[in-house]
């Protein structure tokens, strides 16, 4: 069936022409006045543009947040008295809480390296690390993570980072924790 165009009457506006005087295709375009091909092209282009802009914005925001959290979380805690130095003779260990009451920490008095302290939270899945005197190592029992007592570096097992180190000072015979320093982020 071929569509037949009905010419408008002279002097009559095309838009005023009654539907009954129009071809089937013309009636269809009046009911749905959209240029489908062009609209589709524009919509796709716009969608692509918005997707690229949104991805870029998300990427930039993630970078900013990561940068801020890196700077903000490098050091935690305030000065806090830990224990009298004389109470921890060489070769012994003292467990304490730092930088908050919920954070497990370990102070070691190494015979050849003096006082060192670390977070007692394993950097793998946060199990409690303890001093294994027989092995002379800091050990996480959950998955056999092993840390160097001199540096807190990982010696074995799955932990991805060294233990956070706790900076110490000594004044008037007392050991103070100054800050917990996160490493290898
Ligand atoms: S939680 Fe410490 S090794 Fe897995």
pLDDT tens column, 157-185: 999 999 999 999 999 999 999 999 987 76
Assign 23 to helix, strand or coil. coil
Tell whether 63 and 91 lie within a shared domain.
Answer: no
155 Cβ below 6 A of ligand 1: no
- Dihedral-angle region of residue 87 (phi above 0 means left; psi in -120 to 50 means alpha; beta otherwise): alpha
Report, as an integer, the average pLDDT of 57-61: 83
Computed on alpha carbons and rounded to an integer, the radius of gyration of the chain in Å comes to 36
pLDDT tier at 95 (50, 70, 90 boundaries)? very high
Pick the more confident residue, 51 or 41. Answer: 51
Report, as an integer, the average pLDDT of 126-142: 96
Return the percentage of the chain with pLDDT > 70, whole number. Answer: 79
Pick the more confident residue, 23 or 76. Answer: 76
Q: Which atom, in ligand 1's list, is nearest to the CA of 126?
A: 1
Q: Which residue has the tokens 């467990």?
A: 95
Tell whether 83 and 64 lie within a shared domain.
Answer: no
Structure tokens at 57: 């914005």
pLDDT at residue 1 in the model: 47
Tell whether 108 and 166 lie within a shared domain.
Answer: yes
Mutate to test the pocket of ligand 1, among 104, 119, 125, 138 (most ligand atoms within 8 A of CB): 125
Report, as an integer, the average pLDDT of 149-154: 96
Report, as an integer, the average pLDDT of 101-114: 95
pLDDT at residue 136 in the model: 94
Mutate to test the pocket of ligand 1, among 106, 118, 120, 127 (most ligand atoms within 8 A of CB): 127
Q: How far apart are the first and last CA of the chain?
A: 73
- Name the domain count of the chain: 2
Q: Which domain holds residue 100?
A: 75-181
| DSSP code string of 150-184 | TT--EEESS--SPPPEEEEEEETTEEEEEEEE---
Tell whether 80 and 170 lie within a shared domain.
Answer: yes
Assign 26 to helix, strand or coil. helix
pLDDT at 105 over 50: yes
pLDDT tier at 10 (50, 70, 90 boundaries)? low
Pick the more confident residue, 177 or 17. Answer: 177
* Cβ partners under 8 Å of residue 134, min gap 6: none
From ligand 1's centre to the CA of 17, what distance in Å? 81
Whether the ω angle into residue 99 lies within 30 degrees of 0, i.e. cis, is yes
For the CA atoms of 118, 119, 122, 128, the dihedral, rounded to the nearest 10 degrees, stands at 110
pLDDT at 9 over 50: yes
1 domain-assigned: no
Report, as an integer, the average pLDDT of 72-86: 88
Average pLDDT, the chain: 85
CATH number at residue 117: 2.102.10.10
Tell whether 120 and 96 lie within a shared domain.
Answer: yes
């Amino acid at each position: 069936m071929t569509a037949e165009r009905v010419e408008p009457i002279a002097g009559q506006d095309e838009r005023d022409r009654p539907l009954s005087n129009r071809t089937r295709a013309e009636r269809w375009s009046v009911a749905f006045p959209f240029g489908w091909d062009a609209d589709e092209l524009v919509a796709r282009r716009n969608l692509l543009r918005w997707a690229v802009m949104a991805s870029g914005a998300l990427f930039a925001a993630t970078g900013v947040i990561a940068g801020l959290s890196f700077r903000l979380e490098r050091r935690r805690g305030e000065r806090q008295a830990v224990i009298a130095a004389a109470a921890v003779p060489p070769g012994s260990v003292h467990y304490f809480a730092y930088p908050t009451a919920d954070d497990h920490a370990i102070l070691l008095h190494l015979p050849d390296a003096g006082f060192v302290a670390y977070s007692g939270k394993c950097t793998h899945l946060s199990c409690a690390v303890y001093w294994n005197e027989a092995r002379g190592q800091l050990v996480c029992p959950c998955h056999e993570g092993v840390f160097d007592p001199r540096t807190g570096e990982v010696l074995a097992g799955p932990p991805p980072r060294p233990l956070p180190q706790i900076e110490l000072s000594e004044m008037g015979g007392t050991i103070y924790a100054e800050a917990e320093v996160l490493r290898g982020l």
